Chains A and B, each alone.
Chain A
Amino acid sequence: MIETEILVIGGGVAGLLAATKATDEKLEVTVIDKGSGASYQSSGVIDVMGCPLGEATLKPIEGIAQVIECSPSHPYSVISSERNVTNVIKDAIRYLTSMASNRGVEFKGEIERNVVLLNTIGSFKLTCFYQSTMDRGVLHKLEGASLLVTGFKGLVGFNARFCSSSFKHFASKFNIELRKTSSTELSLPSLREFNLTIIELARMMDEDDFRKDLAKKLETEIAVNDVSHVALPTLGLKKPYENMRIFEEETGTSVFELVSPPPSVPAQRLMEALEEEAIERGVRIFRGYKAVGFEGEGRSIKSVTLASGEKRFPAKAKAYILATGKFIGGGIVEERDKVKETVFNLPLYDEKGEPLKRQNISRLLAKSPFPREGHPLMGCGVKVNAQMKPVVNDEVAYDNLFAAGSIISGYNYVREKSGMGVAAVTGYIAGMNAATHVEGG
């Protein structure tokens, strides 16, 4: 049996932010999580609004305004009915990045501007706030650079040769000319000869001997190549800035880390930092517990049933925050033609705010895998009001229930490039409001 003032279900970005925000009000907050979700799989940078209505923009604020005008069910639009949305996004992200910063994970970026980063696939990513290990690699700062893309023999999923030509290509698409791109594949005796993962490599980089060897290797490479910038697939898990400094000093170049698809070291770094900081500020976190049901009375949630293995027990709180994510997180599942919310069985809505019918799921998918307009399925979720309270037919479902993150409907983060931004701001607001609810009695 757990008793707490606020119970947060789900410990992704949204849940951790909501929980920490609520502890600011000196409330007792408990997060339970059954495992992990999309936040751990993300690339560890914070998108706010990259492609409003499917068109790329370098100006997130304009993008947000466009969305507010055209998509009334978008969480940003819903929030804008009560608050200045740009300010609250700024606050939420400042809150998130300062949590990370307290644990040594630094962010850069500003809400006025999106930046283009390069990734280990060999293409680019548009985002707004990024870890400072990536700073020297922001595309518009690379004009005229001579870039050395550094791979590692045996590392799976990163082809430095290919990236060196593709980076030049994509940079030119953004009207940035890289003076030169070259590549190398380092082989270090302490590394696995094949099937080396990026996470293993990052862990190695945390070790003094290894990074000394690596710095030397890099130095010899740079001596033969005329290089101003060095791109690495990772800079290590725990000491990336130290590594960056050492490598920069040793080579006299600017060094940066690339964005990567899962498994992503920066995402792991960020999530570990958020979790440690949340605990530091008094949040209790229990992993390995799954919320499987609830008991309600009228418009109030009385308890949530938790499962751990075969055991079942209730968790009681004054307010509950649902931050269970989408399909990766497990907040939404599909069973026999029905897409369902898993804990409170809340009805789901589509991107336009219409109730979701029971239907063959393929009707919510587009014919092509990556259409600019996105798949309707990715816009489905629970519907919330400006306080982040789930609503059913425009009525608040439960007075003491809030929702945050990608469980919320009305936006498609895949198409829009807004995932962490929405998770942060909805988590921030849900945390504040849940606290107010509890304090108000």
Chain B
Amino acid sequence: MVVMEDYDVIVIGGGSTGTSVARDCAMRGFRTILFERGDLASGATGACAGMISGGTKYVLQEPEFSEMCTREVVTLSRIAGHIVFRTPIITAILTEEEIKLRASFVEKYGALTEKRQASPILILSPQEARSLEPKLSNNIILAAYFDEMFIDPFRLTVLTALSAKQHGAEIRTYTEVVDVLHRDGEVYGVRVKDRLTGRDEEIRGRIVVNAAGAWVPEISRIVGIKQTLRLNKGAHVVFDRRITRFGIICRALDGRTVYLFPHETGSILGTTAIDIFTSPDEAEATYDEIEYLISSMEMAVPSVRDARIVRVMCGVRPLIAQWWVPEGDVTRNFRVIDHEERDGVRGLVSVEGGKLVVCRAMAEKITDLVCEKLGREAECRTHLEPLPGADGKVNVEEIASRYHFSPHTAGRLISRQGTLSSIVLSEASNERSLLSSVCLCEAVTEAELRHVIRNEWGVTLDALRRRTRMGMGPCQGFSCGFKAMAILAEERGMGVEEAFRELERFLAERWRGHIVVLRGSQLSEYEMTQAAYACVGSIDMKVGEEE
């Protein structure tokens, strides 16, 4: 076993929280290393809607938290401008009693819109609403218009990790913390397993930050600490195209709220909230959850029933353990736990609750505590410095004409890479074939794939998908999977067998998100993928053993 040198801070978990902690710690001068057992943003972060709101739901019960969210929306728009976008939203009101319910919300939330740099809330008649959004049902009796900001959660996490790296942090993906090293009430490191090579390592550090989201209790259990979270599963249904121009919010059949948001090239419908009591690894979206979402949204947008579903995604919220209240009333605020204070275990800090929108604020609070513990005074600067690619505006037309390729493809690239786009394209001036779109659904060029393999921990096809959206469109990896496999194999020096195994894993992951929602016209895409990979590619045939 290899024993690694010492670090000041070891971060467990590469979601929005963990990467933000690594960035803050590194920026404040700590020698930092982060371990993520899968890919960056492979937990709740990658399953979330990416809405960075002023806390629509919490404005009444938790005004301070709502203020914090509002501040963070502004901060994220500043430090990650190219991955933040504004979506206009219509709340469709279907029943009289809802009008009363929503009235005080409109007033309070309205007061925050200006701070959030959003447009004011407008009340619309059903006719006005339908003229703006013809897909709305005739049954709505009133509507409200406002807007919210959204962020690409995958890019946010990757860019945060990149920034951490630029400040000296080490980021290790596909590396699982399998043990927490501790003696005499003190944590002094972790043992990790590289999931791609199977290699074990021990790493020592002065403080371990447990930012493993829903898996926080599992890490704590290793050192004998009982920590409880309210684990709450949520699912989203992803559609192949923008069903509505506006985001739509309406009441669900059980009185909760559901939404249909335009999202990248498609739409997402969410979300459910179901408490779970088994391992978060087991969480999967069920058929009933999907029906619940569709049947609810159908009341406001009837055509959602027949829209083409490409997949479903599911994540587990690591909520603070408040019980005897419905999920909707549980705080979305977070709590930083000093285990020395709470359990008498030194060298371990964890975090409970929170949201994507406040990930930077969560990290700031955690890093403040780390500073205190390690006796260092350093100011937080994470809200000041832009993330990689967010340090300026890029002109789509200019890039498209400089490299002579389509403004659409250029635009998609810039929406992910911002000012780094010209670096991504640098080799394409000489090697024009790098401008070929490997993924047609999402316009991902070979140049971009090679860039993320080399610079953004793009070690698996799944990782390429998260960084570029490759394989997220209607065909779900049918047309890009094998092309990207060859590129990945080449860049990483993978053997042929390893490459095909990787392709199988990628298609299996896509399949998992597919199986419960496969229906309607998506079945022809299914037959294509099945036949192309099995009939033509023989991916299902093992040769050598029996031949």
Contacts and interface: CB of A to CB of B under 8 A. Distances in A.
Interface of A: 38, 41-43, 47, 51, 55-56, 119, 121-126, 153-157, 159, 161-163, 165-166, 169-170, 173-175, 193-196, 259-262, 326-328, 330, 332-335, 360-362, 365, 367-372, 375, 378, 413-415, 417, 419
Interface string B497-513: 10110001001101100
A327 B527 CA distance: 7
A103 B482 CA distance: 33
Give 3 closest A-B pairs by Cβ, nearest first.
A159-B486, A162-B486, A369-B511
Interface string B509-529: 011000110111101101111
A55 B543 CA distance: 10
B543 A369 contact: no
B530 A378 contact: yes
Nearest to A162: B486
Interface in B409-443: 432-438
A157 B508 CA distance: 21
A30 B128 CA distance: 52
Q: In terms of DSSP, what is the predominant structure of the interface of chain B?
A: helix
Chain B CB within 10 Å — which of A41, A155, A370, A414 has the most? A370
Contact of A328 (B496, B519, B527): B527
Given A124-B538, A194-B434, A195-B436, A165 B524 contact: no
A370 B536 CA distance: 13
Contacts of A157: 479, 482-483
A169 B526 CA distance: 29
B519 A334 contact: yes
B531 A333 contact: no
Interface in B142-172: none
Nearest to B510: A369
Interface-central residue, A121, A156, A260, A414, by most chain B CB under 10 Å: A121
B486 A122 contact: yes
B539 A123 contact: yes
13 contacts: A42-B535, A122-B496, A122-B499, A123-B537, A153-B432, A159-B486, A159-B490, A162-B485, A169-B496, A193-B432, A195-B435, A365-B515, A368-B508
Given A38-B531, A328-B528, A370-B507, A161 B519 contact: no
Given A156-B436, A170-B543, A327 B538 contact: no
B508 to A, nearest CB: 6
B531 A41 contact: yes
A415 B534 contact: yes
A333 B524 CA distance: 9
A142 to B, nearest CB: 15
A276 B547 CA distance: 41
Contacts of B436: 154-156, 194-196
B122 interface: no
Given A333-B520, A417-B535, A121 B482 contact: yes
Contacts of B405: 194
A369 B531 CA distance: 11
Given A166-B499, A261-B482, A369-B508, A156 B437 contact: yes
B544 interface: yes
A173 B547 contact: yes
B535 A419 contact: yes
Contacts of B438: 156
B489 interface: yes
A174 B547 contact: yes
Contacts of B516: 362
A57 to B, nearest CB: 10
B434 A56 contact: no
Given A365-B518, A368-B508, A173 B541 contact: no
B546 interface: yes
Contacts of A123: 500, 537-539
B79 to A, nearest CB: 34
For A154, A162, A165, A333, which residue has the most chain B Cβ atoms within 10 angstroms?
A162
Nearest to A365: B515
Given A38-B527, A170-B543, A419-B531, 6 more contacts: A162-B485, A259-B536, A334-B523, A360-B287, A369-B511, A378-B530
A413 B532 CA distance: 12
A2 B524 CA distance: 29
A262 B527 CA distance: 12
A56 B544 CA distance: 11
B487 interface: yes
Contact of A370 (B486, B524, B527, B533): B533
Contacts of B433: 153-154, 193-194
Most chain B Cβ neighbours within 10 Å, of A123, A173, A419: A123
Given A56-B543, A162-B486, A335-B520, A119 B437 contact: no
Contacts of A174: 543, 547
B540 interface: yes
Nearest to B431: A153
Task: Give the size category of B's interface with A.
Answer: 35 or more
Nearest to A364: B518
A49 to B, nearest CB: 13
Interface in B200-239: none
Given A125-B536, A327-B527, A367 B515 contact: yes
Contacts of A368: 508, 511
A378 B437 contact: no
Contacts of A378: 527, 530
Interface string B468-491: 000000000001001101110110
A196 B446 CA distance: 13
Given A154-B436, A193-B433, A328 B537 contact: no
A370 B540 contact: yes
A174 B532 CA distance: 22
B538 A126 contact: yes
A153 B544 CA distance: 33
Given A194-B405, A334-B519, A261 B537 contact: yes
A195 B483 CA distance: 13
A114 to B, nearest CB: 12
A173 B546 CA distance: 10
B540 A161 contact: no
B541 A326 contact: no
Nearest to B497: A169
A328 B536 contact: no
Contacts of A47: 535
A323 to B, nearest CB: 16
Contact of A122 (B479, B482, B511): B482
Nearest to B500: A123
Nearest to B409: A195
Contacts of B499: 122, 162, 166
B293 to A, nearest CB: 15
B338 to A, nearest CB: 43
Nearest to B531: A414
A332 B519 CA distance: 12
- Chain B CB within 10 A, most for which of A42, A43, A166, A333: A166
Contacts of A417: 535
Contact of B526 (A55, A125, A327): A327
B538 A55 contact: no
A414 B437 contact: no
Nearest to B503: A121
B541 A51 contact: yes
Contacts of A165: 496
Nearest to A58: B547
B540 A415 contact: yes
A413 B531 CA distance: 8
Nearest to A161: B490
A428 to B, nearest CB: 21
A126 B515 contact: no
B520 A334 contact: yes
A195 B532 CA distance: 20
Given A174-B547, A334-B519, A369 B507 contact: yes
Contacts of B521: 333
A288 B27 CA distance: 64
A154 B432 contact: yes
A361 B518 CA distance: 7
